[in-house]
Amino acid sequence: MARRLGADPADDSDPRAQAVIAAAPGCVEAALTTWTSTARPQALSKVLDLVMEAMSTLVAPTPVTRPSSRRTTRKGNA
C-alpha cells in the first residue's frame, strides 16, 4: 500500500498506508448501511464499489517532493 501511495514502506513515520488500511472496514460498514437501508436495492458489490471509488479519489498517489540540496546563487555571485 505504501508504494502505491508513493511512500517508502520502510518509513514508519508516514501514516498514510495505515490510514488507508484502517479505512477499509469503515467502507464496508458504509456500504452495508446503504445497502440495507435503501428503498431500491442494488447489488452489494455495486454499493461497495461506489464507496471504494470515493476513497480511491482521496488516496490518489501524490508525488513525493523533497527539498532541493542544490544551492541557488544570485546572478553574478557564482
pLDDT per residue over 9-24, tens digit each?
A: 999 899 988 988 899 9
For residues 40 and 4, give the distance between their C-alpha atoms in angstroms, rounded to a whole number.
35
The SS3 call for residue 39 is: coil
Residue 51 burial (CB count, 10 A) = 21
Residue 74: its pLDDT value, please?
A: 57
User: Residue 6: which pLDDT band, with cuts at 50, 70 and 90?
Assistant: confident
Whole-prediction pTM = 0.62
For residues 24 and 52, give the distance between their C-alpha atoms in angstroms, rounded to a whole number.
8
Q: Which residue has the cell 442494488?
A: 42
Domain boundaries, the chain: 16-58
Residue 57: its pLDDT value, please?
A: 79
Which among 26, 46, 25 has a CA at the least distance from the CA of 35?
Answer: 46
pLDDT per residue over 18-76, tens digit each?
A: 988 899 999 999 999 999 998 888 999 999 999 999 888 776 665 556 555 555 555 55
